[in-house]
Amino acid sequence: MAAKAIAFINFKGGVGKTAGAVNVAASLAYYQNKKVLLVDLDPQCNSSFWLTDPHFCRNHTKGGKNSVAQIFTDHIQGSSIFDFDTAVLRGVPYVDEYSMVPRLDLLAADINLLNVEDKIYQNKYAQFYRYLYKTLQPIYDQYDYIIFDCPPNVYAVSKNALFAADYCVVPYMPDFLSLSGFQILAQRIDDFNGRSSGYRQGRKPCSIAALIVNHYKRVGNVYQDAIEELKTILAQLKSDGLVHPKCSLLEPPIRTCAAVAASTGAHQPICVYDEGSNGGTDFYNVSLALEQHIWSLR
């Protein structure tokens, strides 16, 4: 069966897209024995540097040739340099060349993704949002899940993720500012789905299927109130058809956890770095909830 492709997307920065994508992908591979590919689409390379040492990663990507950026460059320039088997990092992270999570693969990002945003519109007749899917489609059968870590915007690269994905997961922080504009994000995704649906060849549009709460603290009512507000907004968006009819808030909320921050420096996902920490427990439970939720949508 082809992989379920999930885009972690939100146009707001700092809401936990990368933390969610990396740790959910790792948990699915580590605890649930799923074959997972994590595709880093953010030019800041945060997912790539979370799971590999930056020097190692830069050496591997060779100026972008073995990174996801090359997929776009090939389509824009008409070249065919990208080779998935050479580019993919299998079983990340590594300790002394030993794989820590053998079923987790990484397609690393590169700073050249920044140039992609500028150049991708050069041919205004090209369906630029199909580039990523066209290249990765042959490997969908090799995985159970493909997870896209999107940059904090809904520009060309993110649109490629939306086209390549079956569902979106929106990570967010439970505060007033993070909630503002959630309906705009849903509208943007819905608009894009409307425009690109003719090219999806029978695949259903990539709607927002789940939300993950990050940076949660059990202090006072502030965080819980924000979650309730989100649920109220979600009810309206479902009623307006802007999100998946079964879209839900995945439980539990991910608590703020120093071990998760520390795991970035160790270049390991939390399930390997400190699986007993609050973050380890929460991401384990969320990945379980996501797996069940995705199955319920099939």
Partner 1 sequence: MSLKNLSERLAALSSVIEENEGKLGGKALVKSAKLFEGQLAKFEDRIGDAVQGSNPQVRELQALLTGPDRKLFTVAACRAIYRKALGKNPPPDSFKTPSSAVKTLVSELKSSAKAKLALAECRQIISKSTAPKGQVAKDEERLRLEMNRLGALDDEQRQYELETRYRKISDLKALASANGIKLPKGITKQKVLKSVIARAQRVRGHYLG
- Would strands 207-213 and 98-99 be described as parallel, antiparallel, or unpaired? unpaired
The full 3-state SS of 238-260, as one line of letters, equals HHCCCCCCCCEEECCCCECCHHH
Tokens of 237: 């968006």
User: Would you say 222 or 258 has its CB closer to partner 1?
Assistant: 222
Binding status of residue 180 toward partner 1 by CB under 8 A: yes
Binding status of residue 229 toward partner 1 by CB under 8 A: yes
- Among 129, 143, 145, 182, the residue binding partner 1 under the rule CB under 8 A is 182
Binding status of residue 227 toward partner 1 by CB under 8 A: yes
Query: Do 10 and 214 contact (CB within 8 A), yes or no?
Result: no
Distance CA 105, CA 85 (A): 11
- Among 115, 153, 224, 281, the residue binding partner 1 under the rule CB under 8 A is 224
Which of helix, strand or coil describes residue 110? coil
DSSP tag of 210: E
Rounded least distance, CB 45 to partner 1, Å = 30
Query: Do 277 and 260 contact (CB within 8 A), yes or no?
Result: yes
Tokens of 148: 């896209």
User: Would you say 62 or 246 has its CB closer to partner 1?
Assistant: 246
The span of 118-126, 204-212, 218-226, 261-269 binding partner 1 (CB under 8 A) equals 218-226
User: Would you say 174 or 269 has its CB closer to partner 1?
Assistant: 174
Which of helix, strand or coil describes residue 200? coil
- Among 114, 184, 222, 258, the residue binding partner 1 under the rule CB under 8 A is 184
Binding status of residue 235 toward partner 1 by CB under 8 A: yes
Query: Do 205 and 165 contact (CB within 8 A), yes or no?
Result: no
Binding status of residue 95 toward partner 1 by CB under 8 A: no
Distance CA 138, CA 274 (A): 35
User: Would you say 13 or 54 has its CB closer to partner 1?
Assistant: 13
Binding status of residue 245 toward partner 1 by CB under 8 A: no
Binding status of residue 217 toward partner 1 by CB under 8 A: no
Distance CA 195, CA 211 (A): 24
Size of the site for partner 1 (CB under 8 A): 21
Q: Which of residues 42-61 bind partner 1 (CB under 8 A)?
A: none
Task: Return residues touching partner 1 (CB under 8 A).
Answer: 176, 179-184, 221, 224-225, 227-229, 231-236, 238-239
